[in-house]
């Protein structure tokens, strides 16, 4: 651009310089290096079907481009985020972006199809503090040199395709408050050095292929609010140093691993804990009595372990979602602290040794219910009055019980998608209302009569007394 100016005849050059000095006439708010860097980024994008970058036009003020924020006339943030499934960007992150010298934040979120390796241009950006490149297709390894990015305060590569080990040098990024590497293909063990990142409030290593024991790295991580390590292959017990997180931790997710031994009693001291997921592990023994002190717990998932009775009396005012399915519990009845919850939306107690009459269960509030799973118990009576009160129910599963009622009386609300009542003692006909469901199973009951038109396979209706019509054999005239 400079060379162009020099070739212009002097009077015209003067005119342009004067014009440039009058803000209303100029497009000079954008620094030429920033414009070049951003246009370089744009040229690395090969497909932009929804026109996310259509305002990025040469010669216009880059500070006004979609997704760009400036500070003191220099580009400070690039924030491109897709919130609808039909929006995406394809291509790679051009190294030219490092020309945007004052860049403090890069947010490339849910763009789905940004590919390439670790973006080395990050090393050239001295002011960079926030990097969120989430839900894209970056791949390859995280470089050992990552420890040079010492000025970073947040680093997220959640939802990419990185492979290999988490570099040990990550321990040098002591300014990080957020480290999110979830949903990649990272392997190996968790580097012990992560324990040095004292300012971390959010650590997410979930949905990778990490293994070994969870190291004792939590003694200094007392600022952690969210810890997600679920869906890996961690084994061994819950590390004792997690007890140091008792004052601030709100969210602890360790589900879908191979963790074992007993659930430590110290978790009952976690004053702020609102979500605890220990599902799909191999925890055995009883749930600590101290859980009675988890008065703020909203979401508790202990499903698919080997836990046994007795389940502690909880003192939570309102549980929102509870899953105790597939353990060794014999609860007999739905616990009082569940029945009394004013905000519960999901209750899953499959194979929990429940033995009661559903007509006798009078939950305080049913308005918010989305999911109820009572499969594999010995529940008698009828769900008719319960489902008459759940206006927004999406899934109701009560297969393998002793429910006895006329199916025609069951209200099927518009929101209901999935209904499983297989292996009960249900009588009557199959109502027309089932046609609006996405999944249905009423097999092995005492239903009779002609089936209404539906898309469900024969196995959804098998094993009844006298059902007929498609997909079963035709009714006899």
Ligand X SMILES: *[C@@H]1O[C@H](CO)[C@@H](O)[C@H](O)[C@H]1NC(C)=O
Q: Which residues bind ligand X (CB under 6 A)?
A: 46-47, 50, 84, 86, 88, 90-91, 113, 115, 174-175, 199, 209, 211, 233, 235, 268, 289-290, 292-293, 375, 384-385, 388, 399-400, 420, 422, 439, 441, 443-444, 457, 459-460
- Closer by beta carbon to ligand X, 37 or else 91: 91
Residues 218/196, Cβ–Cβ less than 8 Å: no
- Closer by beta carbon to ligand X, 208 or else 305: 208
- Closer by beta carbon to ligand X, 31 or else 42: 42
**Residue-wise DSSP of 244-284:** GGTTT--EEE--SSEEEEPPPGGGGG-TT--EEE--SSEEE
- Closer by beta carbon to ligand X, 27 or else 115: 115
Q: Shortest Cβ distance from residue 2 to ligand X (Å)?
A: 34
Q: Shortest Cβ distance from residue 385 to ligand X (Å)?
A: 4
Q: Shortest Cβ distance from residue 101 to ligand X (Å)?
A: 22
- Closer by beta carbon to ligand X, 46 or else 415: 46
- Closer by beta carbon to ligand X, 17 or else 66: 66
Q: Which helix (H) or strand (E) holds 91?
A: strand 89-92
Residues 391/368, Cβ–Cβ less than 8 Å: no
Rounded to an integer, what distance in angstroms lies between the CA atom of residue 144 and that of residue 324? 42
Q: Shortest Cβ distance from residue 86 to ligand X (Å)?
A: 4
Select from 189, 297, 202 the least CA-distant residue to 236.
189
Q: Shortest Cβ distance from residue 458 to ligand X (Å)?
A: 9
Q: Shortest Cβ distance from residue 460 to ligand X (Å)?
A: 4
Residues 274/297, Cβ–Cβ less than 8 Å: yes
Q: Shortest Cβ distance from residue 119 to ligand X (Å)?
A: 15
Q: What SS3 state is found at 109?
A: strand
- Closer by beta carbon to ligand X, 57 or else 209: 209
Q: Shortest Cβ distance from residue 82 to ligand X (Å)?
A: 10
Distance set, CA 298 to CA 32, 274, 276, 342 (Å): 52, 5, 9, 11
* Strand duo 112-116 + 74-81: pairing: unpaired
Q: Which residues of 185-205 are buried (b: 16+ CB within 10 A; e: fewer)?
A: ebeeebbebbbbbeebbbbbb
Rounded to an integer, what distance in angstroms lies between the CA atom of residue 23 and that of residue 32? 16
Burial of 253 (0-12, 13-18, 19+ CB in 10 A): buried
- Closer by beta carbon to ligand X, 27 or else 406: 406
DSSP state of 427: B
């Amino acid at each position: 651009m400079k060379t162009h100016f020099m070739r212009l005849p002097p009077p015209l050059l003067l005119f342009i310089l004067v014009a440039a000095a009058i803000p209303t006439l100029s497009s000079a708010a954008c620094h030429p290096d920033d414009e070049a860097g951003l246009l370089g980024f744009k040229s690395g994008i090969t497909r932009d079907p929804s026109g996310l970058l259509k305002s990025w036009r040469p010669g216009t003020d880059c500070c006004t481009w979609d997704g760009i924020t400036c500070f003191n006339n220099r580009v400070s943030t690039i924030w491109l985020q897709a919130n609808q499934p039909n929006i995406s960007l394809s291509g790679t992150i051009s190294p030219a972006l490092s020309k945007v010298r004052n860049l403090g934040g890069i947010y490339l979120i849910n763009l789905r199809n940004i590919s390439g390796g670790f973006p080395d241009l990050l090393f050239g950006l001295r002011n960079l503090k926030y990097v969120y490149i989430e839900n894209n297709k970056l791949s390859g390894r995280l470089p050992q040199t990552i420890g040079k990015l010492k000025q970073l305060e947040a680093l997220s590569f959640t939802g990419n395709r990185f492979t290999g080990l988490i570099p040990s040098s990550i321990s040098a990024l002591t300014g990080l408050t957020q480290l999110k590497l979830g949903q990649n293909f990272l392997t190996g063990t968790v580097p012990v050095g992560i324990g040095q990142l004292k300012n971390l409030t959010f650590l997410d290593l979930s949905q990778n292929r990490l293994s070994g024991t969870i190291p004792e790295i939590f003694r200094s991580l007392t600022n952690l609010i969210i810890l997600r390590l679920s869906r890996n292959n961690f084994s061994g017990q819950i590390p004792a140093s997690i007890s140091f997180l008792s004052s601030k931790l709100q969210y602890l997710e360790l589900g879908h691993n191979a963790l074992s031994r007993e659930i430590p009693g110290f978790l009952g001291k976690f004053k702020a804990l609102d979500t605890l997921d220990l599902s799909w592990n191999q925890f055995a023994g009883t749930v600590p009595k101290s859980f009675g002190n988890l008065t703020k717990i909203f979401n508790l998932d202990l499903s698919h372990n080997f836990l046994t009775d007795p389940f502690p009396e909880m003192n939570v005012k309102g549980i929102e979602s509870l899953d105790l399915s597939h353990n060794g519990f014999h609860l007999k009845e739905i616990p009082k602290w569940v029945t009394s919850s004013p905000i519960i939306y999901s209750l899953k107690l499959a194979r929990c040794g429940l033995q009661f009459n559903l007509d006798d269960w009078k939950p305080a509030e049913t308005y918010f219910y989305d999911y109820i799973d009572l499969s594999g118990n010995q529940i008698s009576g009828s769900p008719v009055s319960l489902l008459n009160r759940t206006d927004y129910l999406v899934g109701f599963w009560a297969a393998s019980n002793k429910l006895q009622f006329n199916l025609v009386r069951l209200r099927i609300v518009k929101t209901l998608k999935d209904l499983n009542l297989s292996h009960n003692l249900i009588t009557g006909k199959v109502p027309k209302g089932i046609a609006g469901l996405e999944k249905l199973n009423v097999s092995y009951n005492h239903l009779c009569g002609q089936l209404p038109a539906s898309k469900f396979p024969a196995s959804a209706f098998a094993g009844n007394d006298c059902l007929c019509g498609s997909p079963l054999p035709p009714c006899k005239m």
